[in-house]
Chain A
Amino acid sequence: MPFAEERIYSVTDIVGEVRRLMEKGYASVAVTGEISNLRRASSGHLYFTLKDEAAQLSVVCFRSTAARAALELADGLQVVARGRLTVYEAQGRFQMVAEALEEAGLGALERRFRELVSRLAAEGLFEEAAKRALPRYPSRVAVVTSPTGAAVRDIISTLRRRWPCAEILLAPVPVQGAAAAPAIVAALEALSVARAADVVILGRGGGSIEDLWAFNEETVARAIRRCTIPVVSAVGHETDVTIADFAADRRAATPTAAAELVAPLCGEVERAVAALEGRLQGRMASALALWRARLERLLESYALGEVRARIERGLQRLDHAAERLSREVAAMVRARAGTLEARLAALAALDPRAILERGYAICADRTTGRLVRSRAEALAAGRLRVTFRDGDVPARVEEGSA
């Protein structure tokens, strides 16, 4: 019974089965070849043949896909078609349904991008040496971006959070389309001429290479370099790189990262100021200690009466002041307890000038300006300057004092 189990298909069945097999096996393929025999049906669908030296493949591109394709299709064009294989059952032909079409090799924009990068790089526009340092503590930050995108919101909220003492100047510009590059150039120019900020953030959120194109324009790159204010670029996501990024003084991966780069953390700066104030006070404490030593020496040489009593009072005051000062420094180390005003007032109270108010004077060598701390120093100096609370008088060691 050689044919007992033979299955006899109808044409419809066999073609249908081949179609299903093909659709399952080639649901997503990319095919490169040259377009030929391109026809546009009245329905708007496109039909063409993709061919290479040895074979050809029928392709249909439905109207919606054809409208989305960025490139101008024409016979002879090398393309990459992405889509699925199927069988057109009515004619028993297999064909490809293209869902996306792009130019083979580098796209046109990609080519322009590379050409411009190498030309501007050769010109030195991207030189590291030309890049300016960002200010450490910007008081005015300009933001050149779309006023409606997520980027502006990210930048403003990051600046607010980290560095609320800065003023933000938003230069609203379109960030895609033909108007974008001229508007960006004009904004950079205006900010630059008016010196309206300490640093500029230029950016936008992510998008396709077409969306980001304004940031690849030569005019924008040149405007960035011409800008007298340092520019931080923040275009798209981490992976998007534009010519603006190369030209900018610093590149940030995202708009939020740009704001973080530009703005220090307010709390850290407050701590830095407190540390400097601490050192200032520490230095003044040593100056007070020097004074104390000097008064003690005076005490030894003026053993008598009223002068001695005054010096003793002065010493007490100094001791008192030194105690207060060390308490102040300790208080600051304890996470800045107390208000600034209180601390500054306490410091002002330590001002050695207050001691001049109480009748002491400072004696210095008139020639060198150095303090005269001893009889021997005074004799050596000869010409002195004595400072009272209300000013100096020149003085001279009398002949024969030695």
Chain B
Amino acid sequence: MTDMTEEQQKIGLEEAMARLEAIVAELEKGEQTLEGALARFEEGLALGKRCREILDRAQTRVRELLGAAEDGSLRTQEWQDER
């Protein structure tokens, strides 16, 4: 099984999809060496897996913005709604 790099584990869907699309397009051009193709293939597998991981997240989390600190960071809490 292909291991994902730290970086791939963190990236969002937007970026994972864009990279996967780029890899597929690149492989379909067929210009690279076999090693290159292998590396891209592995990367593509990992990205596909990352996409699915994100898509499989079960439930929407809703957080509520409480305010911003001096340094711009935000204070939030789980939104307790269903009023």
Cβ–Cβ contact A364 & B41, under 8 A = no
Cβ–Cβ contact B45 & A165, under 8 A = no
* Number of A-B pairs, beta carbon distance below 8 Å: 153
Cβ–Cβ contact B64 & A279, under 8 A = no
Cβ–Cβ contact A352 & B17, under 8 A = no
Nearest A residue to B65 via CB reads A171
B24 → chain A closest CB, angstroms: 5
Which residues of A118-156 are within 8 A (CB) of B?
135-139, 142, 147-148, 156
The listed residue (B21, B55, B60, B65) touching A276 by CB distance below 8 A is: B21
| Size band of the interface chain A makes with B | 35 or more
Nearest B residue to A171 via CB reads B65
Cβ–Cβ contact A156 & B62, under 8 A = yes
Cβ–Cβ contact B2 & A348, under 8 A = yes
Which residues of A154-206 are within 8 A (CB) of B?
156, 159-160, 163-172, 187, 190-191, 193-194, 196, 198
Cβ–Cβ contact A172 & B64, under 8 A = yes
A288 → chain B closest CB, angstroms: 10
Residues of A within 8 A of B63 (CB): 167-170
Tell whether A287 is near chain B: CB-to-CB under 8 Å. yes
Expressed in whole angstroms, the Cα–Cα distance for A277 and B52 within the complex equals 11
B2 → chain A closest CB, angstroms: 6
Q: Mark A97-137, 1 if CB is under 8 A from B, else 0.
A: 00000000000000000000000000000000000000111
Expressed in whole angstroms, the Cα–Cα distance for A371 and B32 within the complex equals 9
Cβ–Cβ contact A287 & B34, under 8 A = yes
Residues of A within 8 A of B58 (CB): 164
Cβ–Cβ contact A276 & B20, under 8 A = yes
The listed residue (A266, A280, A362) touching B23 by CB distance below 8 A is: A280
Beyond A164-B57, A344-B48, A344-B49, whether A273 also contacts B67 by CB under 8 A is: no
The 7 closest A-B pairs by CB, nearest first: A190-B68, A137-B13, A193-B72, A283-B27, A165-B57, A171-B65, A280-B44
